[in-house]
Structure 1
Amino acid sequence: MTRPLIALVGRPNVGKSTLFNRIVGRRAAIVQDVPGVTRDRNYADFVWDGRSLSVVDTGGFEPESRDRLMAQVRQQAQLAVEEASAVVLVVDGREGLTEIDRSVADLLRRSGKPLFVAVNKVDTAATEGAIPLADFYELGFGEVQAVSAEHGRGVGELVDTVVAALALPAPPPPPEDREEPQEVQEADQPRGDVRIAIVGRPNVGKSTLVNALLGAERFVVSDVPGTTRDAIDSIVEHRGQRFVVTDTAGIRRKRSIALEVEAYSVVRAMRAIDDAEVVACVLDATEAGVEQDARLLGLVVEKGKALVVVVNKWDVAEREGATQDWYRQELTKRLPFVAFAPMVFVSAKERRGVARVLDQAARLVEQYRARFPTPQLNELLEALQDEHPAPIVHGRRVKLYYVAQVAYAPPTFVIQSSHPEDMADQYRRYVENRFRDAFGLEVPMRLVFRERKRRSRAPR
């Protein structure tokens, strides 16, 4: 499900990046007291009161500036606003309302989105009393929120106000957080079309691959990086299974983004990953396993999506003497965290091997949606402890009592245990690997270890 997106906009040096970091709870953007540090947008997912959202930090927004960089930043901010569910105009309380703030507000009103004003750098109650907050009501955005992004003052109230205006439904508790594990039922199992997102760095051949899958020149294919600007869906049927194939723009490092439209495409690619069940990450066989490949693959795994690693331009690598076995070993060394995922070698240009991408996706989605019988799970739990008991920590041994599958997509299991806080990471990995081996899982899975609650005896 697509997350609602909150866009933070405003002129340079008002504290947008600091506010972004405060909202997402980590230092996810560079913060420096120099105007214009944030030139490209920075996106992050976060959870607020159980609701899943995204926030985008934009570059400084100066509508009247003729400077080329500022013109690009303005366009980036405008594009982010178009995609956003709500917009927060960040202003500097110490400097007061400026003509640039008024000009930005005029542009934002045309968006038709819910609009909010965050008056930043209001660090204390005394500061708030000295700032003419009433001036900011002239913008006509409704309630004015006084915040200190640096100290966290008022930030929670700001996000509460935005979330309330979006009227998001109250979320059900995550299955792994329920007091007692509730087994998933067969009636809840996902069915229907398989959504597969094609992602990768620019110029690795994603659109060529999609064209080969569809058997038609559906997309513009060019040697110029960044040709595909939007995420586009197409339907393809293969061996009786329908796939919704999403071609996305190339994802590259932030500092490499030159065009404002290309920067904007990143959020759409991230959303395509969110909406997909299976992600086909395309690597260039001549330069695979580079830093940006690792970042992108890590994002797919973090989001819990089934993954097919597609090594494209294999015709070129073969001519240079590469073998698939050698390549698998090298890539596993560089990217060990995706060792569980199947790898497919293709030449999209020559249309060799591309059907195997859909074959693998169909096979993986069965695992991704699978329901595993509770008796079989608990037999495995008992067997793995007999083979390799948990190590003794603080004079006591962790015991695993009961396991149940509580969710699909990805498969999620809650294991009731004694003293889960004492379980070593190495033993957790052992349990996961035994689950993978027993069920042949090549998709992400989640294991949640929870302390078993002792039930009080009924009175006699």
Structure 2
Amino acid sequence: MKKIAIIGRPNVGKSTLFNRFAGKRLALVHDMPGMTRDRKETNGKLYDLSFRIIDTAGLADPDTSILTKRMFEQTQVAIEEADLVLFLIDAREGITPYDRDLANLLRRHNKPVIVVANKCEGRHGEVGYSEAMGLALGEVVAISAEHGEGMYDLYEYMAPYFQADTDDLEEKNEADAEESLDQEKSRSLKPLKLAIAGRPNAGKSTLINKLIGEERLLTADMPGVTRDAITIEWNYQGRPIDLIDTAGLRRRRSIDQASEKLAVMDTQRSINFAEVVILVIDATCPFEKQDLTIAYDIISEGRALVLALNKWDLVNDKSTLLKSIQEKLDNQLTQARGIPCIPISAQHGKGLEKLMDAVMVIYETWNRRISTGQLNKWLSYVTENHPAPAVNGRRIRLKYMTQAKTRPPTFAVFASQASQLPDSYSRYLINNLRKDFKLDGIPIRIFVRGGKNPYDDKK
């Protein structure tokens, strides 16, 4: 599949065009420049053209900061990987000296380029469009990524670069036939959606870079480097995984910039759509209320959770700290007792295999289904051991139990006087389910319903 990279200065509309190709809002868009810092990649489509589209950081005037240099390096990688480059300019502002520097950069890469004059709605971009012709990079097309204008013109310029795909079809089929059976099985599996969350500067991006074995994400000794969620396709021991790096989560009262609010919303959306979340904790900092708040939000969304205690190599009293964190989790996150806590060093690659093993185990637990027969035998045992309380002289009777769904395990209990069953008794059932069926570390939900057993034979 062809790869297309979008490059340009900050705030020329790269992420808006990326989202239009993707068919949904994947990249953050804001009037503030510099929202995109890492390169973001997904499947794109324009009419009958299908391709991989890469969004890149806005390249402003270079400075000596490490972050700016790494952003530039990420964009260089995107250009190298691309079969075609869309060079966006802001037609309202016209061509700037730095646009000319970027044009020279593209000439050195010797890649096919289409100059895209964005923000050309109405007659606003006529001057910028004319100036873009003077870059002498080839074709120039006028569009409005925000309003969808000029997209068919862009399609006509892009289409010739896809004609070679039919010529390469035979070669591609031969390569596909040589792939191993394991690779075929890997592709047929649905990717596990694994989000990496935590406070700013806990080491989330460093962890992902070490897992995938390349400097794919920007890292620096400063908080707030990651702004929008980045999804990376990865394979772990034959299992496809969508790794999702997220922006650091601070206390709500500490968030004042609109850009950070957007980043936090994007992180929360990523957590909602994830299946397992690794919460990265900086083990050299106190285990704060904010860490518990993030963990609570993840559990409340029904996600499976694993704690990665990062920078463990810098901790002196390891056993005391580990015991303290586990006690806090068990005491304050009772709805998911037994959350795995894995000490790691993302920088040095220590403990990552144990971390991923814990992810796989808790994912299986999160997906576990218990037969109705097992549940009702168990229900009879636990209610005999500890009967439900009486209300107005009549004891509440639990008649029947079944698992309504997985992800997380959710159970329905049918009972007389269902509305009167105390929450404390529901917690008793959950705690025993967790212990007897080995459902450690995941949220468990129970719904108590009135009426008779729906599976009774009708008389």
Would the alpha carbon gap of residues 304 and 454 (structure 1) be closer, same or farther in structure 2, given more than 3 Å must change? closer
Structure 2: give runs of 5+ residues left out of the alignment: 1-29, 37-121, 123-143, 149-187
Contact 2:189 2:240 (8 Å CA) reproduced: no
* Alpha-carbon offset, residue 290 of structure 1: 1.3
* Alpha-carbon offset, residue 216 of structure 1: 1.6
2:187 equivalent to 1:198: no
SS in 2 for 1:318: coil
Would the alpha carbon gap of residues 255 and 344 (structure 1) be closer, same or farther in structure 2, given more than 3 Å must change? same
- Which residue number corresponds to residue 452 of structure 1? 451
* Alpha-carbon offset, residue 213 of structure 1: 1.3
> Once the two structures are aligned, what percentage of the paired residues are identical?
35
- How big is the alpha-carbon RMSD for the aligned residues of Structure 1 and Structure 2? 3.3
Distance 2:458 2:281 in 1: 61
- Which residue number corresponds to residue 284 of structure 1? 282
Distance 1:368 1:276 in 2: 12
Q: Equivalences for 1:1-16 in 2 at 5 Å?
A: none
- Which residue number corresponds to residue 49 of structure 2? none
* Alpha-carbon offset, residue 292 of structure 1: 1.5
Deviations 1:399-457 (A, max 9, x none): 11111112121111111111122111211111001111121013112111000248999
SS in 1 for 2:347: coil
SS in 1 for 2:342: strand
Distance 1:75 1:409 in 2: 38
SS in 1 for 2:315: helix
- Which residue number corresponds to residue 318 of structure 1? 316
Select the structure with the greater relative contact order (CA < 8 A; seq sep ≥ 6).
Answer: 1
Contact 2:397 2:415 (8 Å CA) reproduced: yes
SS in 2 for 1:252: coil
The one-letter code matched in structure 2 to 1:233 is T
Distance 1:315 1:329 in 2: 21
Q: Equivalences for 1:161-180 in 2 at 5 Å?
A: none
Distance 1:243 1:457 in 2: 45
* Alpha-carbon offset, residue 291 of structure 1: 2.1
- Which residue number corresponds to residue 219 of structure 1? 217
* Alpha-carbon offset, residue 252 of structure 1: 0.9
Contact 2:336 2:443 (8 Å CA) reproduced: no
* Alpha-carbon offset, residue 336 of structure 1: 4.7
- Which residue number corresponds to residue 237 of structure 1? 235
- Which residue number corresponds to residue 357 of structure 2? 359
- Which residue number corresponds to residue 55 of structure 1? none
Deviations 1:142-161 (A, max 9, x none): xxxxxxxxxxxxxxxxxxxx
- Which residue number corresponds to residue 416 of structure 2? 418
* Alpha-carbon offset, residue 75 of structure 1: 4.9
Distance 2:453 2:333 in 1: 42
Aligned equivalent of 1:377, options 361, 375, 378: 375
- Which residue number corresponds to residue 406 of structure 2? 408
- Which residue number corresponds to residue 14 of structure 2? none
Structure 1: give runs of 5+ residues left out of the alignment: 1-72, 80-105, 114-189
Distance 2:254 2:457 in 1: 64
- Which residue number corresponds to residue 156 of structure 1? none
Distance 2:342 2:319 in 1: 18
Contact 1:401 1:416 (8 Å CA) reproduced: yes
Would the alpha carbon gap of residues 269 and 278 (structure 1) be closer, same or farther in structure 2, given more than 3 Å must change? same
The one-letter code matched in structure 2 to 1:347 is S
Would the alpha carbon gap of residues 333 and 435 (structure 1) be closer, same or farther in structure 2, given more than 3 Å must change? closer
TM-score using structure 1 length: 0.56
- Which residue number corresponds to residue 434 of structure 2? 436
Deviations 1:288-321 (A, max 9, x none): 4312212211111111001111111111223677
Contact 1:241 1:362 (8 Å CA) reproduced: no
